[in-house]
């Protein structure tokens, strides 16, 4: 293995069946949070974004469904709900999935926070309850 700067996402083997089982064996340092979340992905200097489905997310990177191929090390930005645009680069790309290594750590729990204000329950969500006595 070359000596140089690599991130934990650079060491990911996309075909490794143990990817969710043993983080220390795969060289990962950040715990990953498996989830299904939509995000926007764009090349670093472009304005338009492509929707992607995030499969797992950590402080250092993410894996997402992405049907098109991208070369390793291509600079990208990801718009993650609750976090905003995060710069990074392609760590790997294979079989409809892509790995992104972030340029700076994020707090992945922010992506799990509720989107709305939570002030009240909308009428369409409240259960229908009978009025009066039912005898």
Q: Is residue 49 part of a domain?
A: yes
Q: Is residue 134 part of a domain?
A: no
Q: Is residue 128 part of a domain?
A: no
Which residue segment(s) compose the domain that 95 sits in? 8-112
Q: pLDDT tens, 81-99? A: 999 999 999 999 998 999 9
Residue 34 or residue 66, greater confidence: 66
What residues contact residue 4 under an 8 Å CB cut-off, 6+ apart?
A: none
User: Model's pTM, two decimal places?
Assistant: 0.62
Q: Is residue 50 part of a domain?
A: yes
* Number of independent structural domains in the chain: 1
Q: Is residue 121 part of a domain?
A: no
The pLDDT value recorded for residue 36 is 77
Are the beta carbons of 88 and 103 closer than 8 angstroms? yes
């Amino acid at each position: 293995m070359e000596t140089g700067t690599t991130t934990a996402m650079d060491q990911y083997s996309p075909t490794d069946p143990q990817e969710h089982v043993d983080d220390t064996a795969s060289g990962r340092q950040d715990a990953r949070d498996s989830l299904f979340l939509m995000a926007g992905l764009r090349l670093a200097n472009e304005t338009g974004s492509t929707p992607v489905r995030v499969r797992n997310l950590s402080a250092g990177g993410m894996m997402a469904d992405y049907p098109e191929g991208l070369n390793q090390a291509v600079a990208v930005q990801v718009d993650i709900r609750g976090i905003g645009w995060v710069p990074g680069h392609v760590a790997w790309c294979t079989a409809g999935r892509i790995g992104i290594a972030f340029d700076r750590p994020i707090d992945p729990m922010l992506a799990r926070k509720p989107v709305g204000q939570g002030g009240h329950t909308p009428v369409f969500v409240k259960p229908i309850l009978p009025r009066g006595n039912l005898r």
